Amino acid sequence: MKKIFGIALIFNILLAQPDSRFETFDWTLYRQTEEINSITEGYDYVYFATENAGILRFQIYQNRFVEPITLAQGLSDNQILAVHFDQSTRILWVASKYFIDYSYNAEGDWFHINLTETGLNRGVFIKQIGSSENYIWLNAESSFLKLDKISGIVMGLLPFPDEDEIIWSSKRERNLEIPNTLNNYIVMDGWIINDNR
């Protein structure tokens, strides 16, 4: 009986592996974006967290939008509340309604953290993501979630961050905070940036 169980377990693990015949963007899902909730700048892309269409990617050097990151690339949800690119580790962090996702290559191969396993109360949403020298910080309305920068392990749930120098991605309050670095780019393809709206 143990032998059959062991074989069945190995077979299930093998079936659950990513299919190496396909690349990350072989399938692309395009949806109406609705609102932009957060913006962060990486080395090659500016990432836009959307209400309905995953993460839009604006290629800085080509000055154009490229394929978005959505459920088809492995995100937990297409409704993205916050996005943050950590400059020191090159990891892209994403918050949705029920999950925190992160990717080492900022495209696919996503790791998922269920928000129910972090100690946050139900109904609390992530508003903003930031990074300090040693940690990733998530602003969850009345508390701050502190994560290990590499593994995503929860290091604490605090009323206030215990570090001062945190680089935050933009967030939406009444209007979206647009980073000053975007003033250097002309955004085309039907997009208009108009006075932080």
Per-residue pLDDT, 72: 82
Is the predicted pLDDT of residue 19 greater than 60, yes or no? no
CATH level 2 (architecture), domain 27-184: 7 Propeller (2.130)
Segments making up each domain of the chain, as ranges: 27-184
For residue 168, report the phi and psi dihedrals to the nearest 5 degrees.
-100, 145
- pTM of the predicted protein model: 0.77
User: What is the C-alpha separation between 108 and 85, in angstroms, rounded?
Assistant: 14
Higher pLDDT, 180 or 196: 180
Q: Write the Ramachandran bin of 109: left for phi over 0, alpha for psi from -120 to 50, otherwise beta.
A: left
pLDDT mean over 12-33 = 58
Q: Cβ distance 155 to 175 under 8 Å?
A: no
What pLDDT, in 10s, does the model give residues 150-168? 988 888 888 888 888 998 8
